[in-house]
A and B are shown apart, each in its own frame.
Chain A
Amino acid sequence: MSQPERNWVEKLSGAKPTTLYMLLIVVSAIFLFIKYQIPVKPDPESVDLYARLATLPKDRPVLVQSDWTNSSRGESAGQFEALMRILMDNEIKFVIYSAADPQAPQVARNVIRFINEERKAEGKAPYKVWENYLDCGYFPNAEGMGQAMKANLRNAFSNKKNRKPDGTDADIWESPVLAGVKSIKDIPLLVNVTASATIDVLIERLGGQVNLGLMCTGVMSPQMVPYYASGQLKGLSGGLKGVYDLEWMMNYGIRGDQVPNDPSLPNRAVCKSNSTIDVKPLQGTTFSRGASYYLSLHAALTLMILAVVAGNLSLISARIKARKG
């Protein structure tokens, strides 16, 4: 094909896909290294989730069902890290288990180890298994697990051992973490970090029994928002935006809409569901994976929008030409 001379508009609309791909790699990689906090207004569903997490009682453990693996790491890892930081900084005990994938516990353990190292560097006590949290590993049948938890929490988590500080293994029900817990009703919140339909199972089996919080991928969140609206989910963090919302609130805190605006904390998010809540910023790492990815996401989305505009320019200019001639 002999190409006649092309003007800049035609060149823009005729770029090779490879050029675009290179641009996307360059743009998303460069912004990973830039630290800048983009101002946001957290979505009400993530505000609610954060409000739940920040007001948890310290004497009861939270159940964390971690169902993500490395294939959805881009969104789930940020969510899980934020969840761990919030729980640890608020000194809330938790029990972690997985029901979707045999690989999930290992992935979660890696994150806990990494955050403990971070805490040490910040001069805080690391979170210890047995005393501060329990690790129950993997349960093969998500539906059965939900059913069993509803029927009898003790049986559902029976025969699981964790290592005591003195180096011996003991049944998790002897641990101080589960002190005072008899049934699922004693659990103040169950958070599901997932990239699959495990949350549907939880809503079906445990709805009404325990407060459910959800951290899911961006693809899932449009389908899950109706459950938040109907109250079946007490809070929801969807995709990368959800991660960044959480990190934003960890860094700036939240206040109920009846709480007067504190001028020293101007960026606090406003919570409508709990009008007297007053949460100060967390001490420690707040902005991390979510913040660095979110900037790259902006860059990538901008590139996408520019690409669409560029693609349409030639069409428009051709139409203008046709109208003139």
Chain B
Amino acid sequence: MYEKIKLLIGAVATIGLYSVLYRENKFYRFVEHMFLGLAAGYTLVAVWKETLKVQWWDRMVGTAGDAGSPGTPGFWAFMFLLPIGMMGYMVFNKKHNWMSRIPIGIILGFWSGQQVQIFWSKWGGQLFNSMKPLIPTGGAFVPSTDGLTPEQMAEVGRTVYVSQAVNNIIFTVTILSVLSYFFFSFELKNKFMLGMNKTGRWLLMIGLGAIFGSTVMARFALEIDRMSFIFVELVKALRT
């Protein structure tokens, strides 16, 4: 019985949200405000349950261990985070509203420092991966690896075949011309650079089109699942 009610409520909520596809209406507004209310309530539960208790409170006061294990210590210095956080609330105070910038500044400072820290680990590997050999060292096509020994297969992996070299040239042209499209402060006058810029934009469109095409499956899958939820599962549950 409980399951049935749960399914039914879920279905009504789904239909309510879907009704916005026709136009904004009272039913949608009803479900939307319920959604926002529930989400806000849940956030207030989760902020303590999943963030502040685990990351702050338990570490500040310590936790008693279960039988056998020693538990964890408390570090009172975590308390200093509280006044820093509270400074954020000064934003509505006309005189001291600048103080809200302190917690904000700390958050932004951490983020900025991390940009320096992660810069190379994020892009170094990608740069290296973009340095492709353009001169073929083997035959026209990658041969079939059926029945080869591991050494022979490793050799095939090291050889650059003509088809690969062609692909690598396409790859290199694409990455360089798209990169040149994002030069902002140079006035491009020479014909070669202008051509590069234009090619870059076109090649970029291929990339964007490919993302569009490959995301579609995931989005439709979710929609089909909703249809299945309403037309198959709910109907089945209500019948029994």
Q: Which residues of A contact B (CB under 8 A)?
A: 17-18, 21, 24-25, 28-29, 32-33, 72-75, 77, 140, 159, 217-219, 221-222, 239-241, 257-258, 272, 275, 289, 292-293, 296-297, 300-301, 304
Contacts and interface: CB of A to CB of B under 8 A. Distances in A.
Nearest to B231: A29
Interface stretch (B70-78, B106-114, B209-217): B209-217
A221 B221 CA distance: 14
Nearest to A300: B220
A257 B231 contact: no
B232 A293 contact: no
Given A239-B221, A240-B221, A300-B220, A218 B227 contact: no
B146 interface: yes
Given A25-B227, A300-B223, A140 B22 contact: no
B51 to A, nearest CB: 11
Interface in B48-103: 50, 54, 66
Interface in B211-240: 211, 214-218, 220-229, 231-232
A297 B21 CA distance: 20
A217 B228 contact: no
A28 B220 contact: yes
Contacts, number: 86
Contacts of A77: 225
Contact of B222 (A72, A159, A258): A72
Given A140-B54, A219-B218, A241-B217, A24 B223 contact: yes
Task: From A21, A140, A221, A293, name the one whose CB has the most chain B CB atoms within 10 angstroms.
Answer: A293
A132 to B, nearest CB: 25
A296 B214 contact: no
Could you tell me the dominant secondary structure of chain A's interface residues? Answer: helix
A138 to B, nearest CB: 12
B224 to A, nearest CB: 4
A32 B218 contact: no
B216 A240 contact: no
Contact of A21 (B21, B216, B218): B21
A218 B231 contact: no
B232 A32 contact: yes
A218 B224 contact: no
Given A74-B226, A240-B218, A304-B220, 4 more contacts: A218-B214, A218-B221, A240-B217, A301-B216
A221 B146 CA distance: 27
A299 to B, nearest CB: 9
A293 B224 contact: yes
6 contacts: A28-B223, A32-B228, A32-B231, A272-B146, A300-B220, A301-B216
Contact of A75 (B147, B221, B231): B221
A304 B221 contact: no
A109 to B, nearest CB: 14
A304 B224 CA distance: 14
Contacts of B232: 32-33
Contacts of B222: 72-75
B218 A296 contact: no
Contacts of A258: 146-147
Nearest to B218: A218
Contacts of A159: 66
